[in-house]
Amino acid sequence: MTSSAVDVAIIGAGIVGAALARALSQQGCSVMVMEAATPGGGATAQGMGHLVVLDDNPVELMLSKRGVELWRTLMHQLPASAQYDTCGTLWLARTEEEMEAVSRKHALYKSLGLDSHVVSDSELAQLEPNLRSNMAGALRVPGDAVVYAPVATHWLLQEASLLGAIVINQAAATGWGASGVILQNGQTVAARHIVIAAGMGSTALVPGLPLRPRKGHLAITERYPGFVRHQLVELGYLQSAHGSGMESVAFNVQPRPSGQVLIGSSRQFDAEHADVDPPVLARMLERALDYLPGLGALQILRTWTGFRPTLPDNLPALGALYTTGATACNVWLATGHEGLGVTTALSSAEILCHLITGSACTMDPVPFSPGRFGLTA
C-alpha cells in the first residue's frame, strides 16, 4: 500500500489512537492510521465523555490529572460541536463517614495543586437543588469537564492530517510482522513502528493479552436545561468501576451542553451481547433516582450499551509490546483504558510519543508497561 515505510502505523482510530496520531505528527513523524470501521465509533462513542481526575491509586491519579490538564489546553481550539464544558464534578457524600473521605480526597488534591473545595450540605443544596434533601456534603472539583468524544476524535485526526498523517477508514488489520501491518484486503502497510490501539480488537492481534470486555449501560434524557449543573458522582463510584464483581451500578450523572442529562453507570463482565439488559438498566436508574428523585419526571430519549476494554489491574497498557526478541521496541500497545479512555487519551499519547521518539517522559511509563503481563513473542 505504501511505497516506503511510514515512521508509525497506528491500528485503531478511537480517541487514544487519534490523540497519538496528532502527538507523533507534531513531533515530525510520518503517521498512518488504520481504522476497521469509523473513527471514534467504537468505545469512544459509547461512553460518557467525562474528563475527570480519579484517585483510586497513585498511577491512575497521575495519568488522569495530566489528561485533564492537557484537555484544558485545547478547550479554545476544539470546535463548538465537541461540546467541551467545564461543568466541574461534585463527589457526593451521604454520611458523615463519607464526608471524612471527602476531607481526605480534598487534602490529597491540595497536596497536588488540584483545585477543590469541600461543600457543606446547605451549600450543596444551593448548587444542586434537585439532589435528595439529606445529603451530607460533597467535594467540588471545578476543573473537571465533559466533551463529545466522537467529534473530539475527528478533530484530533484532522489536526494530525494537516501535519501529514494519513487516515484510512474501513481498513481492518489482521496481523503484523517484520514487514509492517497486514490488512484484511491482503495489502501491507510498511512501518518502522506499529502501535496497536484497537480497543477490544487488540486481542485478535496480541495473543495472550488479558483484556476483557466490561459492558456498561447509559441513558440520556430529552432537554432539561439546568436540571443538574455539575457532573454528579457518588463516592462509591471507584469501587464500582474497579471492583472485581460480575455486575455493579453506581450513580454518575452529567449535564450535557445541549441541556440533556446523561445517566450512568453500570458494569458487567463477560456479557455476551450488546443489547440493553432491562434488569441492569432498571438498577442503574433506581440508583440515579435515589440521588435525584426528580429524574422520574424526565423523559428518557435513548438507552444504549458499550464495551470497555479492561485489564486485570485496571490500568492501560502503554509501551513496548515485547521487551526482548526481534520485535522488541518497534511494536507498541495502547489499550485497556476501561472507562478512562477519553480522560487519559492525551496523557496516554504523551507517554507513547515520548517512548517511540526516545525523548524524556514527563510521567513514569513503567507502571503502564505491557511487560507486566509477561507476554512473549
Q: Give the pLDDT of residue 236.
A: 77
Residue for grid cell 438498566: 281
Same domain, 173 and 257: no
- Both 229 and 252 in a single domain? yes
Task: Give the pLDDT score at 223.
Answer: 97
Number of structural domains found in the chain:
2
Type of residue numbered 154: H
Q: Cell for 49?
A: 465523555
> Are 369 and 254 members of one domain?
no
Residue linked to cell 491482503: 186
Residue 63 in any domain: the answer is no
Per-residue pLDDT at 281: 96
136 lies in the same domain as 240: yes
**Domain end (from 277, 295, 310):** 310
C-alpha cell at 302: 435513548
The CATH number of residue 181's host domain is 3.50.50.60
Q: How do the pLDDT tens digits run along the chain, 377 residues long?
A: 544 789 999 999 999 999 999 999 999 999 999 999 999 999 999 999 999 999 989 999 999 999 999 999 999 999 999 999 999 999 999 999 999 999 999 999 999 999 999 999 999 999 999 999 999 999 999 999 999 999 999 999 999 999 999 999 999 999 998 889 999 999 999 999 999 999 999 999 999 999 999 999 999 999 999 999 999 999 976 655 555 566 889 999 999 999 999 999 999 988 879 999 999 999 999 999 999 999 999 999 999 999 999 999 999 999 999 766 666 669 999 999 998 999 999 999 999 999 999 998 889 999 999 999 988 66
**232 located within any domain:** yes
Task: Give the angle subtended at the CA of 363 by the CAs of 359 and 367, to the nearest 5°.
Answer: 110
Note whether residue 65 is domain-resident: no
Task: Flag whether 328 is in a domain.
Answer: yes
What pLDDT sits at residue 269?
87
205 and 224, same domain (yes or no): no
Residue 326's pLDDT is: 65
Flag whether 129 is in a domain. Answer: yes
**77 in a structural domain:** no
CB 205 within 8 Å of CB 196: yes
Closest CA to 363 of 33, 42, 58, 18: 58
Q: Are residues 159 and 305 in the same domain?
A: no
Q: What is the CATH number of the domain that holds 110?
A: 3.30.9.10
Do 205 and 219 belong together in one domain?
no
The CA-atom distances, in angstroms, between 245 and each of 141, 218, 266, 267, 308 are 29, 19, 12, 9, 15
Do 305 and 201 lie in one domain? The reply is no
In a domain, 116, yes or no: yes
Q: Does the global pTM surpass 0.85?
A: yes
Residue 227 sits in the same domain as residue 303:
yes
Predicted local confidence at residue 377, as pLDDT: 61
Domain boundary among 259, 282, 310: 310
335 and 285 assigned to the same domain: no
- Domain holding 352, by residue range, is 6-46+149-209+314-373
CB under 8 Å to 242, separation ≥6 — which residues? Answer: 56, 314
Residue 6 CB-density burial (10 A; 0-12 exposed, 13-18 middle, 19+ buried): buried
Last residue of a domain, one of 263, 279, 310: 310
Q: Residue 212: CB partners within 8 Å, gap ≥ 6?
A: 269, 270, 309, 310, 311
Cβ–Cβ contacts within 10 Å for residue 374, how many? 8
Residues 131, 175, single domain; the answer is: no
The pLDDT, as a whole number, for residue 245 is: 60
Residue 73 lies in a domain: no
Looking at the structure, tell me whether residues 292 and 303 fall in a common domain.
yes
- Give the model's pLDDT for residue 286: 97
